[in-house]
Structure 1
Amino acid sequence: MMRSIFSGVSGLRNHQTRMDVIGNNIANVNTVGFKASRVTFKEGFAQILQGASRPPGDTADVAGGTNPVQVGLGMNIGSIDLLFTQGSLESTGVNTDLAIQGDSFFMVSDGTQQYFTRAGNFQLDANGRLVAATNGFVVQGRLADDNGVLGDRIQDIVLPFGQKSPARATQEVTFAGNLNAEAEEGTVRETTVTVYDRMGVAQRVTVSFEKQAGTPPTWNYTVDTPGGTVVSGASGTLTFDGEGRLADPLPTDPFIFTPDSGADDVEVVLNFGQEGGLAGLTQFAAPSTAVVREQDGFTMGDLQRFSIDSTGTVFGAFSNGVTLVLGQVALADFNNPAGLERVGDNQYVVSPNSGQAVIGFAGEGSQSSITAGALEMSNVDLAQEFTNMITTQRGFQSNARVISTSDEMLQEVVTLKR
């Protein structure tokens, strides 16, 4: 009878633990990135009342062997497992909110230790660092240099507004349009373009085309800028074939000038088009429309906004129209995620049975992807939890009945002396 009481006590105690886990799951049904737990039970010790015996060696003996006679002594907690199933995604529209689709974790750091989390509710602090909203731990990843090239070192993700995109001097000017084949000799077509020197100072450049006599006729061009001194390449000749297409020889000398701003010399390639092509300048019997289609220089720009793509790459949009890579959020994978140790704030640390973190990036060492502007919700299944609650309650009641019944039996033993 005493054994049954102790078995009932173990059942009460461990079902209470299971109820604690269920209660924690339900309490975190709306916690961002929360992963539910489950409790499994295992049999406790078994007391041997009689050992097993094997059949005797004499085959004529009809007696067989006997099985062991054992009495169980209750049950224990077998395991409390973390369930890392994918939670549903909720769209938030906040560009610093990130959700992982896959088995990976975000990495955050307090400056001395790394932590891992599925909760991507991040924000920027006063220093432009991307931090966890729950405790301010800094999100880890790699940063890019001024040219948008990512480095290899894992460090704090910093996105300071006021970051600048350097100016780039114009290297090529591309022309398009038509020069009228029926224009009279001496007709001039003029177009103007703004180019940039190495300091980002805008320089106005004027290109003039003058019709020349000949068969087929040619056009001489001259290039000038009021904001500097021309060094070379300020003039040349364009030749067209009998079909109005550019013909050899095409000008190859770049236009070079020294800006008055004090910047280094600017060397600009004049791209009039390809021989026999129609993408650049042409000479047909139509009005002259020759213009500069584009130039590839720009001035200095300030960071205005940023976005994050599915690989966790952070792109910055600058006031000069340039988009540069600023950094990339790192992801960590584990051989045994269920072995991680929970430390609160939706975060985990490495344990001896989780394995070390394998650090990578979405699409590069990790099979997971990142969704910006969304959060992963809890993976708690309320229907399953309520079902578990019912079975746990019934298990608790049954073990309580074992204790009360054993007590009544003991009471009967005590009253035998009357």
Structure 2
Amino acid sequence: VSDSKGGQRNLTMSFVRGDLPNQWFVEIGAADATNIVPAGANGMIKAGVLAFTPTGRLDVTTMAASANNAGGRPWLFDYQNDNTTIQIRASAAAPVPPAVNWAVGLGLAEQTISFDLDSTVGGLTQYDSPSVVGSTLTNGTAFGNLSEIEIADDGFVTAIFDNGVTRRIAQVALATFPSVDSLAQVSGNAYQVSENSGTFNLKTPGIGGAGSIAASQLEASTVDLSSEFTGLITTQRAYSASSKIITTADEMLEELIRIKR
């Protein structure tokens, strides 16, 4: 589980076969007992009994019908009130048994941990097969460091963290002007507002006449030098060939005149 500071704390669920059919004693505790007080709890947070149907599914109906099982032991969760949560209090307040606190040195805030044992795919079962995790749903995550920034075409700035979390943190706006051609040019290939350009209007990229944003790109010349040089050479050769035609035609005309003479 993730604590209030973004740290990771491991909880364990231990199952022991009960003395009644299809029932198990369950203990939930911290894998590191030093994270939990009072001293001597051995990391224990909550204990109780879980019941299963003869077909191996979690028997919520039986557990919701009474506070305890037939042996007088409390169910692990209060299904009468649909309460499948445990609460670990902050270390500032003294724990009142059976409640537990985070250890004082951790400085963690109080938090509630939910166990949706029957709502996930398949739910908790007691089939005669190896135990597997069918699905997980995480509400919270470990602390992450910023690893990357991405800017989309619509201007949204997304922060990507190394724990897999992504967050939209801002949106880049584009300025439009009544007279773009009247902007005053300044050094650095930039422009500024002038008296003739009018007041700028900030707009969302791609909306209301504003352009889109091309992230991680540098503006280059719109002229392809290789294509232009190729065209220049082709034009030069064509001009040379045309001049040769004119010269040849002139020589043929001159020869015709000499024949007439």
Task: Tell whether the structures are fold-level matches, with TM greater than 0.5.
Answer: yes
1:333 aligned to which of 176, 192, 198: 176
CA deviations 1:336-381 (Å, max 9, x no partner) are 3223232342222223443321102325666532221223434469
Q: How does 1:377-416 map to 2 (within 5 A)?
A: 377-379=220-222
Deviation at 1:331, TM superposition (A): 0.9
Note if contact 2:176-2:210 (Cα within 8 Å) is conserved in structure 1.
no
Quote how far apart the aligned CAs of 1:268 are.
Answer: 0.8
1:283 corresponds to which of 110, 120, 126: 126
Residue 229 (structure 1) aligned to one of 37, 41, 54: 37
- Deviation of residue 271 (structure 1)? 1.9
Describe how 1:65-214 pairs up with structure 2 within 5 A.
195-212=1-18, 214=20
Distance 1:198 1:365, change over 3 A: farther
Q: Does 1:256 align with 2:87?
A: yes
SS of the aligned residue for 1:202 comes to coil
- Rounded to whole Å, the distance in 2 between the matches of 1:364 and 1:335 is 16
More helix by share: 2
Q: CA deviation at 1:332?
A: 1.0
Q: Which amino acid aligns with 2:36?
A: G
> Is the counterpart of residue 323 in structure 1 residue 166 in structure 2?
yes
Identical residues among aligned pairs (%): 30
Give the conservation status (yes or no) of the 8 Å contact 2:51–2:59.
yes
Structure 1 residues 299, 366: CA separation in 2 closer, same or farther (over 3 Å shift)? farther
Pair 1:357 & 2:162 matched: no
Task: Name the SS for the 1:316 alignment partner.
Answer: strand
Distance 2:25 2:173 in 1: 57
Given that 2:141 and 2:163 are in contact with CA atoms closer than 8 Å, whether structure 1 keeps it comes out as yes
- Name the amino acid aligned to 1:254: T
Give the 3-state SS of the residue equivalent to 2:204 in structure 1: strand
CA separation in 2, counterparts of 1:359 and 1:286? 62
CA contact (8 A) 2:174 2:210 kept: no
Task: Point out where structure 2 has 5 or more consecutive residues left out of the alignment.
Answer: 65-78, 89-100, 232-261
* Corresponding residue to 2:118 among 267, 270, 273: 273
1:346 aligns with 2:189: yes
| Kept in 2: contact 1:246–1:281 (CA 8 A) | yes
User: Per the alignment, in what secondary structure is the counterpart of residue 374 of structure 1?
Assistant: coil
1:236 offset after TM fit, Å? 4.0
Larger relative contact order (C-alpha < 8 A, sep ≥ 6)? Answer: 1
Pick one of 371, 374, 391 that aligns with 2:217.
374
Task: Kindly state the Cα deviation for residue 324 of structure 1 after the two structures are TM-superposed.
Answer: 2.6
Q: Deviations along 1:34-60, whole A, 9 cap, x unmatched?
A: xxxxxxxxxxxxxxxxxxxxxxxxxxx
Task: Give the secondary structure class of the aligned counterpart of 1:196.
Answer: coil
TM superposition shift of 1:220 = 3.7
1:228 CA displacement: 0.9
2:57 alignment partner in structure 1: 245
Alignment coverage as a number of residue pairs:
188
The equivalent of 1:305 in structure 2 is 148
Shift of 1:222: 1.7
Q: How big is each residue's C-alpha offset from its partner over 1:9-58, in whole Å with a ceiling of 9 and x where there is no partner? A: xxxxxxxxxxxxxxxxxxxxxxxxxxxxxxxxxxxxxxxxxxxxxxxxxx
**In structure 1, what is the Cα distance between the partners aligned to 2:52 and 2:180?**
70
The SS at the match of 2:181 is helix
- Counterpart in 2 of 1:218? 23
> In structure 1, how many angstroms separate the alpha carbons of the residues matched to 2:209 and 2:15?
57
Q: Distance in 1 between matches of 2:214 and 2:173?
A: 14
Residues 1:364 and 1:207: Cα distance change in structure 2 (over 3 Å)? farther
TM-superposed deviation, 1:307: 1.9
Distance 2:13 2:207 in 1: 48
Report the structure, 1 or 2, having the larger strand content: 1
- Structure 1 residues without counterparts, runs of 5 or longer: 1-194, 387-418
> What TM-score do you get using the length of structure 2 for normalisation?
0.57
